[in-house]
Structure 1
């Protein structure tokens, strides 16, 4: 199934366009890109441990995709609500859960109006899979993060990841291809990059090709934005390691705490 980017694909910089990019053909191949077994081995219990350490039980997975993280958290005993803007992704996540003996609770929602479609407060919000980069306007990113913040209990936590776009923009693309996208039969590389667009090309084992247009978020920009919407303490990891070389990691992962300690010095 062909995606539609028009005559000049690098000019497609629209938050709404992801709904067309994740068409049925691309979504059907997404698990080949992830490779659930290899990804589970790569990340280990990082998310499970981080959530348990903070006493989290009720989790809102706002970028469920095909359900990998949601299923792992359900199997670890968490109560998970699955959200995605793509109906195709949610259908695939539900099927993946069903195949593993789980009935996932799924909600289609736009992050910018998230709390219109979900109810109650959560101990944690997870936004994984480089998903925030689908928002091209700063006001959309601020609104989405504010909605995540509002969905959390007073001591809740946001766990959010992103590609290392700093290295891609400043040094060019290289990837160990061992975290997150672990499928060894898939090529995933940027076809075009500038300060406002990272256009990635995905080629699968059957020679089918798909693309995603994303906004290249820099690490410090993302951290500052989370601070500005109210998160108090942000810890950043590089490929799950707190002691990382910024030029040698594929993904950054931020754990942003909502909890306010009046005796703790604020971060710079």
Structure 2
């Protein structure tokens, strides 16, 4: 346990001016991390997701998976229990410690790596069938150069026929129509509210309110779906398929989340 871990978030005098890729590392303070599992509700999330990610990985014959945004460990544990070989990485040491503890309670020992995505391959010295970046984590990168570098690092740690699975909140709906998220899928906790407090083209500030009256914030970059798809292709991914709330064809006009499956395998010929 960290002796001097911060107990309060600090966005300074003008929170809307904080648009920095490193900020998340200090904003996931111990109190917020401890409550993160209330926000997710592992059982509720499991029902909402079903075996979507497990099926997609199995369809591709993936066995070895790098979870680059482990958070409190939900997906790492799900994949371990489904029989995958998993390595769990995160840029926040408090999150990694919580993930390790959560996995141990469920009878697993996580193989963890503390790593900044932009220099992932300095710390990760292996190749994987799949890289997963889930929980709306990619949104923490505020600079385009950081996003490009990160996707290139993910690409480099994949085997020649590997796949990247990356999700994001549907920021298009927030930016264009001011549609409030429904939280039917990702944030399933009953006593928690996660709502946008400010949205512009380069900042989405979310407020997280918990049942005990405590509140926390995160400043994120509002990624547009087409922009993420284009970036993936520009760094070398050959094909990108996008799903809405775990459905291949989504009937709802505005799904809460998009999930991108980016294939590294070279398609050749018609491209």
Shorter-normalised TM-score: what interval?
over 0.9
Deviation at 1:195, TM superposition (A): 0.4
Matches within 5 A, 1:1-268: 1-245=7-251, 247-263=253-269, 265-266=270-271
Q: Kindly indicate whether the alpha-carbon contact (under 8 Å) linking 1:168 and 1:174 is maintained by their aligned counterparts in 2.
A: yes
Q: Deviations over 1:181-237 (max 9, x none)?
A: 111110000000100100000000101000000000000000000000000011000
**Structure 1 gap segments, 5+ residues each:** none
Deviation at 1:245, TM superposition (A): 4.8
Matches of 1:169 and 1:175 in 2, distance apart?
Answer: 12
Deviation at 1:243, TM superposition (A): 1.1
Q: How many residues align?
A: 265
Deviation at 1:239, TM superposition (A): 0.4
Q: Kindly indicate whether the alpha-carbon contact (under 8 Å) linking 1:15 and 1:137 is maintained by their aligned counterparts in 2.
A: yes
TM-score if structure 1 supplies the norm length?
0.97
In structure 2, the residue corresponding to 1:248 is in which secondary structure?
A: coil
Matches of 1:20 and 1:259 in 2, distance apart?
Answer: 36
Deviation at 1:175, TM superposition (A): 2.1
Matches of 2:227 and 2:158 in 1, distance apart?
Answer: 22
In structure 1, the residue corresponding to 2:22 is in which secondary structure?
A: helix
Deviation at 1:174, TM superposition (A): 1.5
Deviation at 1:261, TM superposition (A): 1.9
**Structure 2 gap segments, 5+ residues each:** 1-6
What root-mean-square deviation, in Å, do the aligned CA atoms of Structure 1 and Structure 2 show? 0.9
Q: Kindly indicate whether the alpha-carbon contact (under 8 Å) linking 1:167 and 1:246 is maintained by their aligned counterparts in 2.
A: no
Deviation at 1:173, TM superposition (A): 3.2
Matches of 1:146 and 1:210 in 2, distance apart?
Answer: 31
TM-score if structure 2 supplies the norm length?
0.96
